Amino acid sequence: MDSDELSARMLSALEADDKPAPVLITVSLNEQKQYLERHVDSLSIADRRDLARILVSRGRADSITPCGVGSAINLDLLPCAIVGELYAFTVSRRDKRL
């Protein structure tokens, strides 16, 4: 089988796949921040540590502030991409538990 025939077979297999395309739901930055604020307390200690690891790995350890109940994250100081990453992590962890 030559490469043209293989390409044709792969293309026909893709065209035959009738799965619907995934739906992307966009969530605004403010909605992501609100979600994080509402649901971060429901995460396990290990998951909260993973949130801190994300910040440290992105060079944003300075946004973690110690407070009376542990630590806090000032979301207003973070770039949109990092807030989005924290949001996606939190959603994935909460979905696993539900």
Whether 3 maps to a domain, the answer reads no
Tokens standing for 11? 């293309």
What tens digit of pLDDT does each residue of 13-70 get? Answer: 666 555 555 556 688 999 999 999 999 888 998 999 999 999 999 999 999 998 887 8
Query: In the 8-state DSSP scheme, what is residue 65?
Result: E
The parent domain of residue 78 ranges over 22-97
- Structural domain includes residue 38: yes
Residue 27 lies in a domain: yes
Residue tagged 């799965």 (tokens): 19
Sign of CA dihedral 24, 25, 30, 35: negative
69 domain-assigned: yes
Q: Provide the domain count of the chain.
A: 1
Helix residue spans in the chain (DSSP H): 3-16, 29-39, 45-57, 80-97
Tokens 């792969």 correspond to 10
Q: Could you tell me the pTM of the whole model?
A: 0.70
Residue 94 in this model has a pLDDT that exceeds 90: no
Q: What angle do CA 27, 90, 22 make, to 5 degrees?
A: 50
Q: Is residue 16 part of a domain?
A: no
